[in-house]
Structure formats: C-alpha cells, structure tokens
Amino acid sequence: ASQIVAAWQKQKEQFNILEIIIEGTGDIANFEKLRRIINNTSGVKNLQIKELKPDEATIMVDFQGIAKELADALMLNTSGSIDINIYEVSQDRLRIEIMPG
C-alpha cells in the first residue's frame, strides 16, 4: 500500500502537457476571460496558444494533475462569470465550448 501511495504522490507532482481546444472564440472578450481563468487555475503553468482559427483556438498548458481534474476546476472557477460546456475530457485533452451569453 505504501508503494501505491508513493507512486500516486509522484504522479501528482508531475506536470502533464494538456491540449485544450476552445470553440466559440469569436467572442474575444469571453475567450480572454476564459484564458485568464485557465492561466490562474491552481496547477496550471506555461499556457501557450498553439493555434488560432476564426472561431476556435488550441492552447497547451502544463498541468499538475490529469485532464479531468482541470475540467472540474474550470467548471468551479468559471461559475457565474462565463458559460462554458466541457464536452470532451480525455487523458490529455479537453474540448470546451464558450456558450453565447
């Protein structure tokens, strides 16, 4: 049991590179708001925009944890300030839609 706990602790300390695909970025103000929220989320460092399309952006972050933990944190952190729909959570990717306000 102690070996399992030690392995979990080590995994928790590791940063994973996560890809976040954001749809609905045509509303620049909400995209910037979401980007700030992601950047200020505990465990996130090195947010970089990988690709910008007319209504979609791909960003990469180093995250201390797994994608599901980041998705859960984002749902809490965006509550009341911006409407988002996280409709795909895989091991290393999130797909988020910014809902029109």
Residue with the bigger pLDDT between 7 and 79: it is 79
d(CA 35, CA 58): 11
Position 79 scores a pLDDT of: 80
Position 21 scores a pLDDT of: 98
Helix (H, G, I), strand (E, B) or coil at 17: strand
| Phi, psi at 4, each rounded to 5° | -65, -45
| Burial call 49-71: b when 16+ CB within 10 Å, e when fewer | eeeeeeeebebbbebbbbbebbb
| Assigned token pair, 57 | 């952006």
Q: What is the mean pLDDT of residues 54-76?
A: 95
Tens digits of residue pLDDT in 2-56? 877 777 666 556 788 999 999 999 999 999 999 999 999 999 999 999 999 999 9
**DSSP track, 35-85:** HHHHHTSTTEEEEEEEEEETTEEEEEEEEES-HHHHHHHHHHHHTTT--EE
